[in-house]
Chains A and B, each alone.
Chain A
């Protein structure tokens, strides 16, 4: 599947793709095969979606990846719009969960986009959006489970001692923070878990839970 972009949306991901409008004007036959368009929802996301998506979706080969500088392509406060569009264009539209900031995308997002581009080279519909935007952030979920258990175990528990001594947990924290930073579009965002203890467990679990709930939309 080909990957196109509108208004240089590709630059936000640090990649290069063909321009959708130019291709449509000069090489319309190119659009006779399934393709994906990167679409930056500038302005109020809800208005932009209703104004532009139906037109973009007229071609049944079209698949659109909507994104913005804020979470869920700017529609985190309007999940009903996401549901409406998913219902209208099943499998053909995706609203990117992590924000795509101006300038360089974070390393995690860059890595996923590169994987997604590679996947598209041989992909056929339906598009597996999970490659770019997995629903379950496995490290965040793992850390949430550990913190939830640690909180419930109480202070000075055997679990607290075991988690502190376990070298694998440190790696889980590092990976979870990368997922967290990607969701926050903030390379400095931290879960502040330099020291693993019962007192930090509750706020960290609550913070991750908020992210997990958003991902579920």
Chain B
């Protein structure tokens, strides 16, 4: 992991489960690794052999749906990975309401000011944009493309999907401030 210094590693790899962490895992592992990238490799020959105008493979046709989920994830990730949620679980939960309110606010401010989550969000945004641009051409390539065009296209899409997968590797759990 080059984007985060070793001393900061624990902050973005706390391993403390949160809903957004599950969502990140599902997008990265279930969709990108085990579905899209896997099928791009396993079915490549079949896809290349298909005649122009053949139906778009299901996994490629489903990209727009996954992109919508990604955009929702991106928009809410700062709130969803915030350490302020830790105030409402574990021992801090028993504190008085006013104390909890002040703690939530302070922890969230430190976390945002630290900049780590913002840089992860910016990186993910770029990766989504690049992937969106490539994936939007899929239908046209399938409608008209010959084997060479499709090969080049799939290579490009694979590179952008890997870039997206890497951008989704963090945070692993609630981010510590």
Residues in B with CB closer than 8 Å to A138 are: 90-91
Interface segment among A10-18, A20-28, A98-106, A163-171: the answer is A163-171
Among A145, A162, A175, point to the contact of B86 (Cβ < 8 A). Answer: A145
**Interface flag for A57 (CB, 8 Å):** no
CB of B29, distance to nearest CB on chain A (Å):
18
B86 partner residues in chain A, CB cutoff 8 A: 141-142, 145
A-B pairs with beta carbons under 8 Å apart, 21 shown? A139-B91, A141-B86, A141-B90, A142-B90, A145-B86, A145-B87, A146-B92, A146-B103, A148-B107, A149-B106, A149-B107, A152-B106, A152-B109, A158-B102, A168-B95, A168-B96, A171-B91, A171-B94, A212-B10, A216-B9, A216-B10
Contact yes or no, B91 A159, CB < 8 A: no
B60: A residues at CB distance < 8 A: none
- A166 near B96 with CB under 8 A, answer yes
Interface: B13 (CB within 8 A):
yes
Decide yes or no: A145 and B95 within 8 Å by CB, A136-B16, A162-B102 being known contacts: no
Q: How far is the CA of A135 from the CA of B15 in the complex (A)?
A: 9
Given contacts A142-B90, A152-B110, A212-B10, contact A169 B95 (CB under 8 A): yes
- Which residue numbers of A lie inside 8 Å of B, CB to CB? 135-136, 138-139, 141-142, 145-146, 148-150, 152-153, 158-159, 162-163, 165-166, 168-169, 171-172, 175, 212-213, 216
Min CB distance B159 to A, Å, is 30
Q: Is the CB of A145 within 8 A of B103?
A: yes
What residues on B are CB-neighbors of A136 within 8 Å? 15-16
A-B contacts, CB under 8 A, total: 69
Q: How far is the CA of A136 from the CA of B99 in the complex (A)?
A: 23
B residues 78-96 in Cβ contact with A at 8 Å: 83, 86-87, 90-92, 94-96
* Alpha-carbon gap, A166 to B16, bound state (A): 26
Give chain B nearest CB distance to A183 CB in angstroms: 15
Interface residue count for B (Cβ, 8 Å)? 23
Which residue of chain A lies nearest to B109 when distances are taken between CB atoms in the complex? A152
- Measured between beta carbons, the chain B residues less than 8 angstroms from A141 are 86, 90
- Chain B residues within 8 Å of A163, by CB: 99
**Nearest chain A CB to B105's CB is how many angstroms away?**
8
Cβ distance B84 to chain A, nearest Cβ, rounded Å = 9
Q: Is B41 an interface residue (CB 8 A)?
A: no
Q: Which residue of B lies closest to A159 (CB)?
A: B102
A171 nearest CB across to chain B (Å) = 8
Q: Which residues of A contact B91 (CB under 8 A)?
A: 138-139, 142, 168, 171-172, 175
Q: Tell me the smallest distance from the CB of A140 to a CB of chain B, in Å.
A: 10
- A145 and B102 in contact (CB under 8 A), knowing A138-B91, A162-B96, A216-B10? no
* A172 and B92 in contact, given A135-B15, A145-B86, A166-B99 (Cβ under 8 angstroms): yes
Q: Are A213 and B10 in contact (CB under 8 A)?
A: yes
- Chain B residues with CB under 8 Å of A158's CB are 102
